[in-house]
Chains A and B, each alone.
Chain A
Amino acid sequence: MKFTLKIWRQKDSRSKGKFETYQIDNIPSDASFLEMLDILNDELIRKGEEPVAFDHDCREGICGMCSLHINGRAHGPDEDVTTCQLFMRKFKDGETIWVEPWRAKGFPVIKDLIVDRSAFDKILQAGGYISVNTGNAPDANAIPIPKDDADVAMDAATCIGCGACVATCKNSSAMLFVAAKVSHLAHLPQGKIEATRRVKAMVDKMEELGFGSCTNTGSCEVECPKNISIAHIAKLNREFLKANLEA
């Protein structure tokens, strides 16, 4: 297959970036999007040009390291996948493909297509945990948990922290990311004890780090590669309300 690529190039966080155009040919339809970029980079290196920097690691859709806005969509034109699991057969031969980094105030660009997502770590450090020290745990079956609760918790916990929800939101809100963790822990008896403190601390941190507010457009849910439902945002809102009433 053959493509025209318009790729965002930016030297570092202080420089201004711009789109560069590349022509690429002989791409197998079985190649993943990142493998297509590997092939492009191989050509660029051989020509003496600097290859395109992009984040990636596991290449099986679970580490959350890969990103990319492709033709205006987070993780590109396929449903429920990360960019590493997007295959070139999803594109038309001869198509022009626009490739950009995540664009959000909370995620500054480091180089080319790589952004800094350490804000996500900071939000979780604010309260995304259950305070239990190693060695303090009772037997795992001491507290039965209804299967339905455990299943909802699992669905929420499936978030890979890639940032697609922020990148796709017109307000650059991190609400789905925060809600996934709040909802995961609030559905479990172990997590209920700190629920109030957790939700306030995490929402405060999210706002402090420059992420916008949620206006319920639902676009995050559409682009989430792990299909995390905005029902978790409703859960977050309930927990947040509860926390404020208790305060």
Chain B
Amino acid sequence: MIKLDSKIPKGPLAEKWTIYKETQKLVAPNNKRKLDIIVVGTGLAGASAAASFGEMGFNVKIFCYQDSPRRAHSIAAQGGINAAKNYQNDGDSIYRLFYDTIKGGDYRSREANVYRLAEVSGNIIDQAVAQGVPFAREYGGYLTNRSFGGVLVSRTFYAKGQTGQQLLLGAYSALNRQIAAGTVKLYHRREMLDLVVVDGKARGIVVRNLVTGEIERYGAHAVVLATGGYGNVYYLSTNAMGSNGSAAWAAYKKGAAFANPAYVQIHPTCIPLHGEFQSKLTLMSESLRNDGRIWVPKKKEDAEAIRKGLKTANDIPDEDRDFYLERRYPAFGNLVPRDVASRAAKERCDAGYGVAPTGLGVFLDFKYAIERLGKKKIEERYGNLFQMYEKITGVDPYNHPMMIYPAVHYTMGGLWVDYELQSTIPGLFVAGEANFSDHGANRLGASALMQGLADGYFVLPYTIQNYLANEIYHPEIDIKTKEFDEAEKNVKDKINKLMSVKGNEPVDHFHRELGKIMWHYVGMSRNREGLEKAISEIRALREEFWKNVRVSGSADNLNPELEKAGRVADFLELGELIATDALHREESCGGHFREEYQTEEGEALRRDDQFMYVAAWEYKGEGQMPELNKEPLKYENIEVKTRSYK
């Protein structure tokens, strides 16, 4: 049993963070340069944290598997970043952003963390603008905003459809400045494969140099994981091909609790699947729902005719179109939260109204917005997204509605962290999508960028000092100890095992099969029978993997197949934990929908009396059932209600 102490500071909600900062321990400038911090991952959370640590005077080592920190998958975030600036004078406030985030997360996140997130959100925009991030502006020169799902205000800042790119390039530029200053050392094309724990504290990592194949060790007084989410367990997702859960999984096996793995976000607006060879799914930004209207035909025969190519969307008159989100949720319409929009699309397609050749697709139509605003305005707002859609599908969305379907996008679950973003292993901090902390069971649009940068710029630089203040007497970490030897041996043994199977099926085959199991049984809609089946099928597939995988090439040079094999081996374990968590949570909340628990109208039915807690899973050894630890969630500043967007 792990003791889960969330370390929430005392005092009123709005003052907790101030109280924390005023009473925390600090590290003197002369001691900072004697302390080493490892940061793994160079996305928004990792790059911003490492740059800030470097500015403060710590010695930082930062790692990424890509060829450059700028490639991290934060770069692909499109729509925007939320901040409670109230520049639009539309009644926004810190409390309202906090409220929307807790409600959007279906009352499954921690109040104090979310409030702090809302509190620092404004600083992020200030910081980004100071770095030169070219957010969209009005003619008067001031910043402009748009709206995202699940809220009634316009608080989303954006840079065309490339907001993640611009924010990441901002954080990357701050990182570059510190690399030039010598406070941060960059290790690119390195993949973390194990965490080193010495006397109960995180003291280093073991990585594989992806170019030479060498196994390398690095020590530090604290380790920060900012390694992103695990959506690629599902094979097809909007994640980058290399996005993986291996660093988090290594930490889990070394004693870090894994929280709420079942909370996976399925994004409603992605380009539908078109073939077996397909390697990934492409997101079309949620911002499109500001101006696009989602519909399917009212008549089944029209849907069928469209599927067969006998009719097109433009042949269906307005009165025969079912704008099902506007029909079911008049208050929020097309801007309901992602989980709600995804399930509604699935419901229509399952009922036979889908429009893609596979039956799995709905229309996202800009005809009405173009009539209202003109083509030029729409081009200005979404030009690059429209271009991307046309390149991929060969269809021009100015003249024909886009076809979209839900796809795996983001994981709310992740390593358990306390208020300081410290995991259950002292000295191991977790930031961004890799932790579980702020989004509950469903994340609102434009909040991932906010959380990643909040963690990296404005939370960790404080909280990590509170930990490091006690480490000033500890000399440089010795990497020749038995703990480092053991971790390196673990890594080498696993690589040797993978190379020596010499079976018949390539790694991708197993990944694809795992993805199918996950999507069918642990996807948008789950039930007991399916989840039990998923668990047994994953176990069988895992066994097959270790008997029959073929990893070509050798381990002593650049070998993408070996990289994939290690990641898929971990996904085959992580997938089982997701299903186990989903099976145990006998309620529906946010992205976790259990068919047994729904209202008569088909909406999610929470069971607060039994499940208002964070499920933090503890590793108990290979082949053993992980142990469930519970952190109860207390709502003292917000009334817990049934989430309604009607």
Contacts and interface: CB of A to CB of B under 8 A. Distances in A.
Interface of A: 11-12, 28, 30-32, 34-35, 38-39, 41-42, 44-46, 48-51, 53, 55-65, 78, 80-81, 85, 87, 89, 110-111, 114, 116-118, 120-121, 124-126, 128-141, 143-147, 150-151, 153-154, 157-158, 160-161, 184-185, 188, 190-191
Nearest to B171: A134
Contact of A65 (B71, B127, B278): B71
B552 A50 contact: yes
B240 A59 contact: yes
A153 B67 contact: no
Contacts of A58: 71, 73, 75-76, 240-241
B68 A138 contact: no
Contact of B76 (A41, A63, A151, A154): A63
A84 B21 CA distance: 46
Contacts of B143: 140-141
A45 B134 contact: no
Given A121-B186, A137-B127, A190-B130, A38 B279 contact: yes
Interface stretch (B176-184, B292-300, B538-546, B585-593): B176-184
Contacts of B179: 121, 125
B51 to A, nearest CB: 7
Interface residues of B, number: 83
19 contacts: A30-B275, A48-B552, A64-B71, A87-B394, A128-B173, A128-B176, A129-B176, A130-B131, A130-B132, A132-B174, A134-B48, A135-B123, A137-B127, A140-B125, A141-B142, A141-B143, A150-B135, A153-B134, A158-B160
9 interchain residue pairs of minimum CB distance: A144-B141, A129-B173, A137-B130, A137-B126, A154-B134, A140-B129, A134-B52, A153-B134, A57-B240
Contacts of B142: 141, 144
Contacts of B394: 87, 89
A81 B394 CA distance: 13
B457 interface: yes
A127 to B, nearest CB: 8
B77 to A, nearest CB: 9
Nearest to B159: A154
A61 B68 contact: no
A26 B477 CA distance: 55
A111 to B, nearest CB: 5
B439 interface: no
A181 to B, nearest CB: 9
A6 B280 CA distance: 26
A86 to B, nearest CB: 8
Given A50-B552, A110-B211, A61 B388 contact: yes
A215 B180 CA distance: 30
Interface stretch (B255-263, B408-416, B554-562): B554-562
Given A56-B241, A188-B132, A87 B391 contact: yes
B57 to A, nearest CB: 11
A240 to B, nearest CB: 19
A157 B461 contact: no
Nearest to A43: B506
Nearest to B169: A157
B631 interface: no
Given A53-B558, A126-B180, A188-B132, A150 B137 contact: yes
B67 A118 contact: yes
B278 A35 contact: yes
B141 A146 contact: yes
Interface string B203-237: 00000000100000000000000000000000000
Contact of A121 (B69, B129, B135): B69
Contacts of B122: 140
Nearest to A38: B279
A136 B130 contact: yes
B67 A116 contact: yes
